[in-house]
Amino acid sequence: MVGPPLEDRAVVDLPSLLRPGDLLVLNDIRVHHARLRARRESGGPVEVLLAGADEALVRPARRLREGERLVCGAGHVLLRTRLADGRWKIACEPDVDTLTASAGELPLPPYFGRAPTPEDEERYQTVYARTRGDLRGAAAPTAGLHLTPRLLEQLETRGVASASLTLEVGLGTFRPLGAEQIASGALHPERFDIPEATWEALRTARRVVAVGTTVARALESAEGPGPGSTRLFIREGYPFRRVDALFTNFHLPRSSLLMLVSTFGGRERVLDAYRHAVAARYRFYSYGDAMLVTR
């Protein structure tokens, strides 16, 4: 827990660290089989990582051409427009669900260095994940992976309410920062949807506790309930409007996620927590440990 004080606690202690009247806000996005193993018509292998409704990271991208169709399972991925950093505007033929069902795999982060296992199919999904409309995640909202049905019940008994929103985890969340994002002050767009009931719960909450940086970005971007899109890049000097506490994993260096957490908790305080985590041999990244940061 990044207080003050800085304390070593366990996730099972969360009910004692939160207070009656607090509101826990969860990102209920479901991770879909967004990594496609495709091939060019010439036979060369291509990896396509779907990120949002009509965009993908495609590798290797150098020799690909606009208008080219990549053979993928029962259909094709049409490369429509080349963007920067290996990104393409794409269209799936016949549709996204058909392709991901026949040729997709769970998009574990590349630093795992392995293919997904049957265990990952359950483990890399929050217990409250669900499909909402056409919003699909290309990565898990990893802070929520720590929460179990029993822990959520204990929080409810404690008087801590829960509410959900959906943010389509994509390039704005997991891509390393590049010159384009730093210069523009904006991340790649990600769609979200905030139910009316969640928006109303924010008004009466004693404290709003965001479970993960994706929830923080959605709450700080929205001006009301309903669908929206965010390119919000939270960095030093940003004045948080809605988030009072943040439950989050330990993040990669040079990432927008680490900048968000440092902005929220204070740069030196968060870096002290990271130094302590390294010394105490905490686990980092997607299947790693978490911290609760209060303001």
Section 126-140 average pLDDT: 92
Domains and CATH numbers, the chain: 11-31+120-294 (3.40.1780.10), 35-105 (2.40.10)
Section 29-41 average pLDDT: 93
Between 13-17, 37-41, 220-224, the lowest mean confidence (pLDDT) is in 37-41
The predicted structure's pLDDT at residue 42? 85
According to DSSP, the residues that pair with 26 across neighbouring strands are 164
- Sorting pLDDT into bands at 50, 70 and 90, what band is 164? very high
The predicted structure's pLDDT at residue 106? 95
Question: What average pLDDT does the structure give for the chain?
Answer: 93
Residue 271 and residue 284: Cα distance in Å, rounded? 14
The predicted structure's pLDDT at residue 39? 93
Residues 159, 196, 261, CA angle at the centre, nearest 5°? Answer: 65
Residue 107 and residue 230: Cα distance in Å, rounded? 22
Residue 27 and residue 248: Cα distance in Å, rounded? 12
User: Each residue of 199-229: pLDDT tens digit?
Assistant: 999 999 999 999 999 999 999 999 999 999 9
User: Each residue of 254-266: pLDDT tens digit?
Assistant: 899 999 999 999 9
The predicted structure's pLDDT at residue 62? 82
The predicted structure's pLDDT at residue 172? 72
Residue 240 and residue 205: Cα distance in Å, rounded? 16
CB contact at 8 A, 260 and 217: yes
The predicted structure's pLDDT at residue 278? 95
The predicted structure's pLDDT at residue 55? 92
The predicted structure's pLDDT at residue 5? 81
Section 166-186 average pLDDT: 80
- Position 34 pLDDT exceeds 80: yes
What percentage of the chain exceeds 90 in pLDDT? 77
CB contact at 8 A, 250 and 289: yes
- Sorting pLDDT into bands at 50, 70 and 90, what band is 134? confident
- Position 4 pLDDT exceeds 90: no
